[in-house]
Amino acid sequence: MKKNLFQNMKKTSRKNLVTYLICFSFFAAVRIMGATDNLTRHFSSLLVPICINVILAVSLNLVIGFLGELSLGHAGFMSVGAYAGCLFAIKFKEILPAAVRLPLAMLVGGMVAALFGLLVGIPVLRLKGDYLAIVTLAFGEILRSVIINLNFTGGASGLKGTPQDATFTAGFAAVILTLFVILNLADSKHGRAIMSLRENAIAASSVGINANGYKLMVFSLSAFFAGIAGVLYGSSVSILSASTFDYNKSIEILVMVVLGGMGSIRGSVIAAALITILPESMRALADYRMLIYALALIVMMILGTSEKFMLLRHALSPRRLLSKAVKHFRYKKEGQNNG
Amino acid sequence: MNFLSNLISGLSLGSIYALIALGYTMVYGIAKMLNFAHGDIIMVGAFTCVVFITNMGMHPAVGVLASVVVCVVVGVLVERIAYKPLRSAPPLSVLITAIGVSYFLQSLAQLIFGTNQKSFPKFISLSPITIGQLTIKGESVVTMAVTVVIMAALTLFISKTRMGKAMRAVSEDKQAAELMGISVNRTITITFAIGSALASVAGSFYGLTYGFVGPYSGSMPGIKAFVAAVFGGIGSIPGAMLGGILLGVIENMAKAYISTELSDAIVFGVLIAVLLVKPTGLLGKKTNEKV
Amino acid sequence: MADRTMVPFPSNAIVPRKDADKRPVLEAHHLGIDFGGLTAVEDFNLTIGRSEIAGLIGPNGAGKTTVFNLLTSVYQPTRGTILLDGYDTKGKNSFQVNKMGIARTFQNIRLFANMSVLDNVKVGLHNKIKTSFPASLTHFFGYSQAEKAADRKALELLDFFSMADMRDMPAGALPYGDQRRLEIVRALATQPKILLLDEPAAGMNPSETARLMENIRRIRDEFDIAVLLIEHDMNLVMGICEGICVLNYGRVIAKGTPRQIKSNPKVIEAYLGKKAEGKNA
């Protein structure tokens, strides 16, 4: 049987293509629903938050899933980016049109956040595991209290007057850019170097991988995208308040990454979208939302890594189930052909 | 005089941090994990005190004791259900699980008690002690006195009893301890029980000091106590005591002389500075990964 | 020789080839390290020539792996100097000394277990792949050519050990012997001038060990590099090593050819204890 183009592609490229397809079909579906007046107001209000959360989850997954370190300060990077980008947008409110202003604001926010990523990264180089996690948490909290105590950020009452530039199209473009960069990175020499550090840092150094350099790179790149998400957020709310970016926000992003599967970009995309949509759509569950997140974290970890559940995991792995189904189908087809 | 009274309230706050930090450091030393949910045990302890004393009208002493029992049960259950299956799992998974447990306890408390803070019963009513111009609150005196007694008892327990020796053995080398006939699982359970009991006592003092308790009351003192444990050198019991007390003093001084809003930022700044200068903390020892 | 320590390390390329051929690939002078007051290795001297196969032996706990860790900058020596291809490795990190030309395997296998066999080798090729950071992010600017070249090179290396057909398996799923071989391939991928093997035959049966011996010789001949190995299997050590260094309690007690080592009374004593009647070590 001659293989088609899709089968000829590298396995990773094939996987990435599916991820892009999911995103574009979602975008197309929303556009069609909008054109045919099927989009509820409630749902359209969720579109930008979905984009924000997808970017946050995908960029955090770079640290957790690929580098194998836990960052609890992602909301902090988001806030730095948000303030930098929004202050920029306010400054150029009259001068630049929205179509130029937002991308530039995102760039500014991303760059400033990346700078802070480097700043956090430097002490973090000497640490790993639990220590690293707690230092990122500490950084997030420091950033928040500093922002609240500054004047030009609007202090505790928040920053007002940011032009409301964030649209679904802009958010979607930012999502695609994020995916493009991170998926490409994962399938490159730099990406392999990052993953090798997750797998075994000593061995990675022994084959010439600069562990510190790559850690810094991952932290600042991840912060860059968190900053972009922050700018999107700041451009979609009337008051930007630092108290939004607390430790709980970081945990919420962590939940998205864990539920989607650490190291799976597609998983992060889907989990981030679902976690944004579901609680808003099921009001009855709203009270139990946090409880469900918490249980999900625990159950995912126990089922995912405990030795006891190794067999269960193997039996239920989607790949295995799929290949079983395919085999079953082929067998039937061959049976029909022969008969 | 002002300085002295700030110092004393700092010592009192530091005693609470030290009690919590002991739980972190013992669990870290023995189970080699950061029990992120430890701070929330404080909240559980404070809430159970409210229920037993205010709602059910128990005698304060009985109420505090009952809350200790509840916290020990919760701590041990958490260990058994959530952490035990992950003994050989990667540290990242254990940490995420612990964050999950912390989140779980908080949201459960929120479901049961609501988002609003409850007022904590003032069951110790000592009149303030006045020495010259210096006034010391009665609660502060009790907090510091009880902390000193507990620390002395704990030090004796660790150094003199069979169980204490077992704990030290497990923290040195789990496998060797197991081969010597020490039940590692039991030792870890007992460590969690002791840690939770201390957290519960800390919870009562915390409630007494601030007068209120809410679902998130445990998270900030918990994180700060962890900072204290790292400051003193994680895994080291005297380190946790020293770190806790120093941190309480630093926080209070920052509040008094720099800025109330920035005091948390300063505490975290201390953590980062310590980790940069001496990653093993004041009294911790260095461990090398074997290559 | 001593003045070589003054040579800075910008790039190996500036060394004139004819000089390089004569110079030893690795020299250790008076190397020593203390761990909290305890001396683990003391006054360790070793010179390994180009294309030499050398062995480092000694009883358990003699400090053999510590020497490897010193040579690869996992630990910084308390005393002494290491010259790698003539350049001092003082103050360099593990990844830097790897770039200078030393690669190693580990006693307790350290593979990238969840990555494919091919990717493990490609991580080894890291510094040989010419993909810029922008190229990695965009997959343009020569990404495909570089990646294809890396695939070819990695498969070529895997083929050397007839492992090319395992390319897509996760490294952690390989049988034990193959994991050991993959570690060697990964180390070779960094194109070292000297390869350090830490107990390569551990856990292997005699026929596997015989194949390993053959492979170590082939590595030396085809890649034209030096090999230093730690091994407890005396048949292997005596069979392929041209020079042997014996370590006991962190000190060198004997050096020489396999024949000299076999009959050295100090070595026999170290292995069998003082009162032993000179049996084969």
Q: Which of residues 182-201 of A touch C (CB under 8 A)?
A: 184-185, 187-193, 195-196, 199-200
Question: Is the CB of residue B74 less than 8 Å from the CB of residue B198?
Answer: no
Tell me whether residues C123 and A196 touch, CB distance under 8 A.
Answer: yes
- Alpha carbon C166 to its chain's center: 24
- Chains linked to A by 3 or more Cβ pairs within 8 Å: B, C
Encode chain B (291 residues) as per-residue pLDDT tens digits: 588 888 998 999 999 999 999 999 999 988 888 898 999 999 999 999 999 999 998 898 899 999 999 999 999 999 999 999 998 888 888 999 999 999 999 999 999 998 888 889 887 777 778 877 777 888 888 889 999 999 999 999 999 999 999 999 998 888 899 999 999 999 999 999 999 999 999 999 999 988 899 998 998 899 899 889 988 988 888 999 999 999 999 999 999 998 888 888 998 998 888 888 887 888 877 665 666
Question: Is the CB of residue C218 less than 8 Å from the CB of residue C187?
Answer: no
C74 inside 8 A of chain B by CB: yes
Query: How close, in Å, is residue A186 to chain C by CA atoms?
Result: 8
Mean pLDDT in residue range A66-85: 95
Flag whether B58 is in a domain: yes
Name chain A contacts of B221, Cβ cutoff 8 Å.
Answer: none
Tell me whether residues C98 and A208 touch, CB distance under 8 A.
Answer: yes
Residue of B nearest to C73 (CA): B291
Q: What's the CA gap between C114 and A199, in Å, rounded?
A: 7
Express each pLDDT in A277-298 by its tens digit. Answer: 887 666 677 778 888 888 988 9
The residue to which tokens 């912390």 are assigned:
B102
Name chain A contacts of C95, Cβ cutoff 8 Å.
Answer: 204-211
Would strands C79-84 and C53-57 be described as parallel, antiparallel, or unpaired? unpaired
The residue to which tokens 């109330």 are assigned:
B260
What pLDDT shows up at residue A289? 80
Which residues of B lie closer than 8 Å to C, measured between beta carbons?
291
| Structure tokens, A105 | 């604001």
A28 inside 8 A of chain B by CB: no
Query: How close, in Å, is residue B281 to chain A by CA atoms?
Result: 12
Residue B147 or A304, more confident: B147
Helix, strand counts (H, E) of chain A? 15, 2
- Alpha carbon A251 to its chain's center: 13
Flag whether B147 is in a domain: yes
Same domain, C89 and C18: yes
Which of C166, C191, C216 is where one domain is finished?
Answer: C191
The residue to which tokens 């509040």 are assigned:
B255
The residue to which tokens 């070529």 are assigned:
C156
The CATH number that applies at residue C126 is 3.40.50.300
pLDDT above 70: residue A227 = yes
Could you list the residue range(s) of the whole structural domain that residue B117 is in?
2-217
- Which ranges constitute the DSSP H helices of C112-173? 117-124, 133-138, 143-160
**Residues sharing a CB contact under 8 Å with residue C165, sequence separation 6 or more, in sequence order:** none
| Structure tokens, C14 | 């500036």
Same domain, C148 and C200: no
Mean pLDDT in residue range A36-44: 87
SS3 B192: helix
Residue A321 confidence class, pLDDT cut points 50, 70, 90: low
Same domain, C159 and C199: no
- Surface-to-core class of residue C51, CB atoms within 10 Å of its CB (0-12 exposed, 13-18 middle, 19+ buried): middle
A127 inside 8 A of chain B by CB: yes
Would strands C102-104 and C194-198 be described as parallel, antiparallel, or unpaired? parallel
pLDDT above 80: residue A306 = no
B280 inside 8 A of chain A by CB: no
Could you list the residue range(s) of the whole structural domain that residue C166 is in?
110-191
Same domain, C162 and C229: no
Mean pLDDT in residue range A84-112: 95
B82 inside 8 A of chain A by CB: yes
Domain count, chain C: 2
Same domain, C187 and C156: yes
Residue A311 confidence class, pLDDT cut points 50, 70, 90: low
**Count of A–C CB contacts within 8 Å?**
101
The neighbouring-strand residues paired with C87 are: C84
Q: Among C71, C82, C81, which residue's Cα sits nearest to residue C104?
A: C71
Tell me whether residues C190 and A208 touch, CB distance under 8 A.
Answer: yes
Question: Is the CB of residue A84 less than 8 Å from the CB of residue A233?
Answer: no
Residue segments in chain C with a per-residue pLDDT below the cut of 50: 1-20, 276-281
Express each pLDDT in A234-293 by its tens digit. Answer: 999 999 999 899 888 998 999 999 999 899 999 999 999 999 988 766 667 777 888 888
Residue type, B83: Y
What pLDDT shows up at residue C2? 38
What pLDDT shows up at residue B127? 77
**Residues sharing a CB contact under 8 Å with residue A100, sequence separation 6 or more, in sequence order:** none
Tell me whether residues C113 and A211 touch, CB distance under 8 A.
Answer: no
Same domain, C204 and C183: no
Flag whether B28 is in a domain: yes
A115 inside 8 A of chain B by CB: no
Same domain, C66 and C140: no
Q: What's the CA gap between C222 and A48, in Å, rounded?
A: 59
**Residues sharing a CB contact under 8 Å with residue A329, sequence separation 6 or more, in sequence order:** none
Q: What's the CA gap between A7 and A219, in Å, rounded?
A: 35
Would strands C194-198 and C226-230 be described as parallel, antiparallel, or unpaired? parallel
Top-level class of domain A47-305: mainly alpha
Q: Mutation test of the interface with chain A: which of C111, C136, C169, choosing the one with the most A Cβ atoms within 10 A?
A: C136
Residue A333 confidence class, pLDDT cut points 50, 70, 90: low
The residue to which tokens 């994180």 are assigned:
B223
What pLDDT shows up at residue C216? 95
- With vertex at residue B121, the alpha carbon angle to CA B118 and CA B125, rounded to the nearest 5 degrees, is 150
The neighbouring-strand residues paired with C53 are: C227
Mean pLDDT in residue range A314-323: 63
Entry pTM: 0.88
Same domain, C198 and C185: no
Domain count, chain B: 1
Same domain, C5 and C88: yes
A264 inside 8 A of chain C by CB: no
Same domain, C5 and C142: no
Q: What's the CA gap between A137 and A168, in Å, rounded?
A: 31
Tell me whether residues A191 and C135 touch, CB distance under 8 A.
Answer: no
